[in-house]
């Protein structure tokens, strides 16, 4: 396999020819994206204010309209009424849906976590009975995991299922909260413990089953059009045939589906981010202060250019990983694995990248949405402007699909575990770089090109990450996860590395293929991003070093980190101005 395994990017390089970039979408993928854009323009954007008033019926009807167009079946095999598109296509669809504020939350919850547990882990009868209707929009799905006292620690949930004396059904009791689509979902994927089991099982419950009680919608900061409520299950009789998979499989199902939800959220926020950038530049190109358009001001250009750089880097990283997942899906299916299991196994394999991209994506959107409000000034604080809603709606993404704090821990822990299991050799290079930290820096070679330089810098950044991982693992051992501040530092370094490398590979491939006539703009993005990454990595690495090692060893690490993050200066002002000037000229995000 030409693709790297999950987390292996820390120790190996990828050739630009081996990454997928969004400029390579085929005609069918572009057509699906356009269908979504047309649907949003015609059916969604005219009613967003009405949806934000919490109109359950209107949201339900809008989601079902998307189903009638086939948009809810993009990930579903043809035999269950779907279109069985590639994972890249699914992610492209998620990106474009992401511009839809609350609608995107309702849509993605149904098509993702509300449908795919049944698709991936259900049996043929369950797929025919439920997935076909979920794919068409006849049914809308919900995912019911969180409880009042079981959030990030999902396995501590108290919802219980007892097998009836005649063995025909389970009697399920419990309470779920923060359930997206609760107000109108037809099917619920509910996680509960059977009898005295220590681990969860998963069940399909229909909203009309006796004992299902839906609470009122929560009053939320954002995504106000999304129905979010508590659901109470009081002696609900669940047929035994509605158990998904086997007893005790629920926790595995929940974790696998969360990996999928995380990476799709990373795609979702791209659409919201691009919309916020377009809203920003359109306003900046109309608003005058001191008899000048504010788009001519250097500070505004800085903000818009940084919005673009971060969004373009996120998009590069998302679709790089999505293509890797597609390749693994094909391999697993070719080996004879059931297509549903092959899909979720491939997604679950890239757990490191899923957690990383969820964190990075949600924080990119938060930055973009915040600066969009700032560019609008006082008007950005007014509910008349789209950026006000975008700002409020963006905030949930750092909490959805596992908080960013949990995901930062997961991405480091999972990468280390993968290395220890032998998926790839992390311990060897990490120990080697740690022992030789004074001399492991890779220096400039004669005739080095622009791209060679940036990729060399990134290789040096990887050495920083590996030195930190080795030092922290040796110092804290099994207690490493208790040192959450250090884990956060390492995760921040990994995020900077993966996003910078993904951006570098994309821009290099663009340059090699002549797909962009204005390639210098993209090289400006790369130059600024890699330069800024050096500073962010330096700060996090030094903090981790002095939080991990004794003073003398930390001083030694400090010198190595300083050397490994030492890069040539970049005129970031002019580079950002060139990026912003292009954005201002086209008056929308079109990179």
**Residues labelled as active-site residues:** 401
Q: Are 242 and 205 in contact (CB under 8 A)?
A: yes
The tokens describing 50, both together, are 């009405």
What is the rounded CA–CA span in Å between residue 505 and residue 319?
Answer: 12
Q: Which helix (H) or strand (E) holds 341?
A: helix 339-349
What is the rounded CA–CA span in Å between residue 344 and residue 526?
Answer: 33
Pairing of strands 169-180, 228-239: antiparallel
DSSP helix/strand/coil, 285 = coil
Give 201's strand partners: 192
Give 202's strand partners: 191, 244
Segment 564-567 long-range contacts (CB within 8 Å, at least 24 positions apart): 564/440, 564/441, 564/460, 564/461, 564/463, 564/464, 565/460, 565/461, 565/464, 565/534, 565/535, 565/537, 565/538, 565/541, 566/534, 567/457, 567/530, 567/531, 567/534
Sequence-ordered list of residues with C-beta below 8 angstroms from that of 322, at least 6 positions apart, any chain: 20, 87, 88, 90, 91, 263, 267
What is the rounded CA–CA span in Å between residue 85 and residue 32?
Answer: 10
What is the rounded CA–CA span in Å between residue 60 and residue 216?
Answer: 16
What is the rounded CA–CA span in Å between residue 307 and residue 455?
Answer: 23
Pairing of strands 169-180, 160-163: antiparallel
Q: What angle do CA 21, 25, 31 make, to 5 degrees?
A: 150
Which residue shows structure tokens 């000037």?
A: 581
What is the rounded CA–CA span in Å between residue 278 and residue 296?
Answer: 16
What is the rounded CA–CA span in Å between residue 134 and residue 63?
Answer: 11
Residue 237 phi/psi, 5° resolution?
Answer: -90, 105
DSSP helix/strand/coil, 233 = strand
Picking from 395, 392, 399, the residue whose alpha carbon sits closest to that of residue 373 is: 392
Question: Where would I find the beta strands (DSSP E) of 100-209?
Answer: 141-144, 160-163, 169-180, 187-194, 201-206
What is the rounded CA–CA span in Å between residue 476 and residue 170?
Answer: 45
State the chain's maximal CA–CA distance in angstroms: 81
**Helix extents (H) in 245-338:** 250-284, 298-334
Sequence-ordered list of residues with C-beta below 8 angstroms from that of 491, at least 6 positions apart, any chain: 356, 359, 408, 409, 411, 412
Which residue shows structure tokens 């962010």?
A: 536
User: Which burial class, exposed, middle or buried, applies to 211 when counting CB atoms under 10 A from its CB (0-12, 13-18, 19+)?
Assistant: middle
What is the rounded CA–CA span in Å between residue 311 and residue 448?
Answer: 28
Per-residue CA distances from 149 to 145, 189, 192 (Å): 11, 19, 14
């Amino acid at each position: 396999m030409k693709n790297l395994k999950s987390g292996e990017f820390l120790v190996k390089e990828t050739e630009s020819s081996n990454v997928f970039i969004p400029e390579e979408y085929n005609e069918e993928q572009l057509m699906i994206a356009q269908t979504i854009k047309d649907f949003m323009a015609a059916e969604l954007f005219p009613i967003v204010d009405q949806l934000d008033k919490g109109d359950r019926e209107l949201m339900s009807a809008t989601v079902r309209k998307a189903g009638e167009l086939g948009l809810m079946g993009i990930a579903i095999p043809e035999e269950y009424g779907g279109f069985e598109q590639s994972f890249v296509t699914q992610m492209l669809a998620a990106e474009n849906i992401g511009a839809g504020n609350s609608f995107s939350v309702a849509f993605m919850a149904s098509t993702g976590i509300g449908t795919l547990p049944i698709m991936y882990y259900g049996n043929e009868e369950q797929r025919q009975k439920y997935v076909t209707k979920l794919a068409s929009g006849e049914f809308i799905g919900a995912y019911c995991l969180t409880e009042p006292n079981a959030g990030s620690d999902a396995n501590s949930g108290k919802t219980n299922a007892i097998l009836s004396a005649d063995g025909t059904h389970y009697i399920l009791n419990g309470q779920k909260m923060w359930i997206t689509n609760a107000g109108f979902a037809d099917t619920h994927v509910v996680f509960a413990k059977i009898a005295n089991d220590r681990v969860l099982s998963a069940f399909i419950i229909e909203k009309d089953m006796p004992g299902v009680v839906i609470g009122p919608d929560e009053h939320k900061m954002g995504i106000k059009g999304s129905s979010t409520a508590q659901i109470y299950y009081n002696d609900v009789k669940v047929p035994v045939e509605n158990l998904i998979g086997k007893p005790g499989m629920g926790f595995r199902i929940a974790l696998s589906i969360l990996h999928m939800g995380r990476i799709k959220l990373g795609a979702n926020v791209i659409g919201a981010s691009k919309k916020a950038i377009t809203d920003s530049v359109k306003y900046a190109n109309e608003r005058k202060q001191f008899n000048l358009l504010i788009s001519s001001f250097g500070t505004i250009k800085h903000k818009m250019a940084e919005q673009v750089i971060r969004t373009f880097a996120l998009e590069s990283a998302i679709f790089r990983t999505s293509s890797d997942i597609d390749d693994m899906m094909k391999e697993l299916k070719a080996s004879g694995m059931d297509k549903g299991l092959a899909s979720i196994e491939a997604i679950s394999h890239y757990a490191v990248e899923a957690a990383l991209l969820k964190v990075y994506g949600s924080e990119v959107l938060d930055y973009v949405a915040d600066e969009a409000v700032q560019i609008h000034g006082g008007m950005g604080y007014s509910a008349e402007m789209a950026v006000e809603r975008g700002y409020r709606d963006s905030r949930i993404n750092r909490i959805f699909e596992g908080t960013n704090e949990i995901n930062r821990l997961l991405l480091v822990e999972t990468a280390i575990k993968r290395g220890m299991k032998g998926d790839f050799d992390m311990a060897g290079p990490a120990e080697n770089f740690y022992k030789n930290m004074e001399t492991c820096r890779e220096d400039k070679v004669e005739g080095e090109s622009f791209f060679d330089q940036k990729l060399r810098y990134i290789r040096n950044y990887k050495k920083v990450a590996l030195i930190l991982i080795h030092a922290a693992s040796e110092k804290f051992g099994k207690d490493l996860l208790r040192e959450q501040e250090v884990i956060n530092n390492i995760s921040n370094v990994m995020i900077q590395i993966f996003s910078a490398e993904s951006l570098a590979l994309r821009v290099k491939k663009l340059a090699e293929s002549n797909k962009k006539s204005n390639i210098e703009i993209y090289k400006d993005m790369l130059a600024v991003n890699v330069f800024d990454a050096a500073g962010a990595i330096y700060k996090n690495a030094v903090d981790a070093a002095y939080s991990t090692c004794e003073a003398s060893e930390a001083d030694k690490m400090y010198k190595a980190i300083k050397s490994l993050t030492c890069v040539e200066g970049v005129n970031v002002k002019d580079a950002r101005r060139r990026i912003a000037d292009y954005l201002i000229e086209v008056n929308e995000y079109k990179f």
